[in-house]
Amino acid sequence: MLEQFKKHLDKFVKISDDEFVDITQYFELQRLKKKENVLTEGQICKANYFVLDGILRKFFINEKGGQQTTEFAIENWWMTETFSYINQTATAFYIQAVHPTEVLVIRKQAYDELLEKHPALEKYFRMVYQKAYAAAQMRIKFLYEYSREELYLHFLKDQPAFLQRVPQYLVASYLGFTPEYLSEIRKKNLS
Amino acid sequence: MLEQFKKHLDKFVKISDDEFVDITQYFELQRLKKKENVLTEGQICKANYFVLDGILRKFFINEKGGQQTTEFAIENWWMTETFSYINQTATAFYIQAVHPTEVLVIRKQAYDELLEKHPALEKYFRMVYQKAYAAAQMRIKFLYEYSREELYLHFLKDQPAFLQRVPQYLVASYLGFTPEYLSEIRKKNLS
DNA sequence: CGGTCTCTTGACGGAGTTCAAAGCTAGTGG
DNA sequence: CCACTAGCTTTGAACTCCGTCAAGAGACCG
């Protein structure tokens, strides 16, 4: 499990084995059950989660009482509610395990201390957030550019493996439409 | 102009005056005319722009040939096409000055060298991107949560000053609908 | 002042939602 | 290992938000 994280870090920065051992002190391993929440609306988001295995999703409850998924995280991705995490304010989001999921957890205070002690990780997180920001920008472009149907077909083409891993109503929720409409689109496009 | 940038940096990290002088060597000041482009579709995004005064906007051309604005940057914000900038790949976006605008420019190579020489800025950019990412996440939430009309009313309430600074058709383009519909909404909500 | 941008108005159409109900699937306990 | 149930997926009809098109009214700039 930890080798996996080390391998991931190595893609961005040079960390000695000794340094890595110290770094791991700041993290904690957690196993989540299916549908277990690590963050609930109204709470302050106290931790950042690095997914080792499984899937996390982030969602909020809209006016009509439905769950609106805004993000998934799979292996080797970070998941947190960044705004609440950095400002330590109450969140409007839930973070939940879609399947049984294994995560590395780093709490806010540990995160600040870790970066203080290991400046090499400033570079790592700078690069991770830079990448995440770029991805969010492209996501916003897609939301503007494509119709709901096109979003689905695009997703189907780009992430066929991912589609197998989550139920359809979550895909619909992520793409911003209803399960009923997803059904209609799927019927129209063969299958 | 440079004091303004120094003041901005001071909000995130401690930089000595000497260090700051060296840092400024990596930047270049540029004055843009109204509607001047600093990035065009198909190019590789070679620079990151820090707005000192004025407004930049980023947009792409959609299938119907219309301009779809995805982002504005005002004083003390960075603007670039992050994906193209970090990967040095061709972009689908334009970056254009809405009004006459003054920017600090840092080219990709200078950026890499700057971070190498001044690790304190790793922390600065880590925090900036972390914040930008959090903002993008909230933006995505809004896009999912609100109807076009609600997006406008929300924007009207949150950014009344900004509305005065850009023409309405750009506001419509940013919010993802047509000028005609904006007109209708405005009529419906008084004045 | 003349022309080109920008903003408004109204009629019509279509993508996508809502609601209700029925069929299907998978997990759970007995 | 089967049966039952809760949750997931499909169907269809009515409705709504918002885009498109076309045309006119202002407004800004040389």
Q: What is the mean pLDDT of chain B?
A: 95
pLDDT at B191 over 60: no
Shortest CA gap B88–chain A (Å): 13
How much is the average pLDDT of B75-92? Answer: 97
| Residue A180 CB neighbours (<10 A) | 9
Q: Angle between the B168-175 and B148-158 helix axes, to the nearest 10 degrees?
A: 120
**pLDDT for A191:** 45
Q: What letter would DSSP give residue A83?
A: H
Residue pairs between chains A and B whose CB atoms are closer than 8 Å:
105
Q: Would the Cβ of B147 be found within 7 angstroms of any atom in strand D?
A: yes
Contacts of A136 in chain B (CB under 8 A): 133, 136-137, 139-140
Percent of chain A with pLDDT over 70: 99
How much is the average pLDDT of B57-71? Answer: 93
Strand D nucleotides below 7 A of a protein CB?
Answer: 8-13, 17-22
How much is the average pLDDT of A110-124? Answer: 97
Q: Give the tokens for residue B103.
A: 């920017």
Compare all CA atoms of chain B with the CA of A123 and give the residue at the minimum distance. B122
Q: A35-47: per-residue pLDDT in tens?
A: 999 999 999 999 9
What is the second-level CATH architecture of the domain A2-117? Answer: Sandwich (2.60)
Q: Where along chain A do its domains lie?
A: 2-117
Q: How far apart are CA B122 and CA B117, in angstroms?
A: 10
Q: What letter would DSSP give residue A177?
A: S
How much is the average pLDDT of B129-141? Answer: 97
Contacts of B59 in chain A (CB under 8 A): none
Q: How far apart are CA A132 and CA B31, in angstroms?
A: 30
Compare all CA atoms of chain A with the CA of B62 and give the residue at the minimum distance. A145
Q: How far apart are CA A76 and CA A165, in angstroms?
A: 16
User: Would you call B70 and A133 a contact, using CB atoms and an 8 Å cutoff?
Assistant: no
SS (H, E, C) chain B: CHHHHHHHHHCCCCCCHHHHHHHHCCCEEEEECCCCEEECCCCECCEEEEEEECCEEEEEECCCCCEEEEEEECCCCEECCHHHHHHCCECCEEEEECCCEEEEEEEHHHHHHHHHHCCHHHHHHHHHHHHHHHHHHHHHHHHHHCCHHHHHHHHHHHCHHHHHHCCHHHHHHHHCCCHHHHHHHHHHCCC
Q: pLDDT confidence of B65, banded at 50, 70, 90?
A: confident
User: Would you call A141 and B115 a contact, using CB atoms and an 8 Å cutoff?
Assistant: no
How much is the average pLDDT of B52-77? Answer: 94
**pLDDT for B59:** 96
Q: How far apart are CA A106 and CA A100, in angstroms?
A: 19
Q: pLDDT confidence of A189, banded at 50, 70, 90?
A: confident
Q: Does residue B123 belong to the interface with chain A, where contact is any CB pair within 8 Å? A: yes
pLDDT at B190 over 70: no
**pLDDT for B63:** 85
Partner residue facing A82 (CB), from B134, B139, B144: B134
Which of the two residues, A1 and A148, has the higher pLDDT score? A148
Q: How far apart are CA B151 and CA A110, in angstroms?
A: 37
Q: pLDDT confidence of A1, banded at 50, 70, 90?
A: confident
Q: pLDDT confidence of B118, banded at 50, 70, 90?
A: very high
How much is the average pLDDT of B9-22? Answer: 96
User: Would you call A83 and B138 a contact, using CB atoms and an 8 Å cutoff?
Assistant: yes
Partner residue facing A134 (CB), from B86, B131, B145: B86
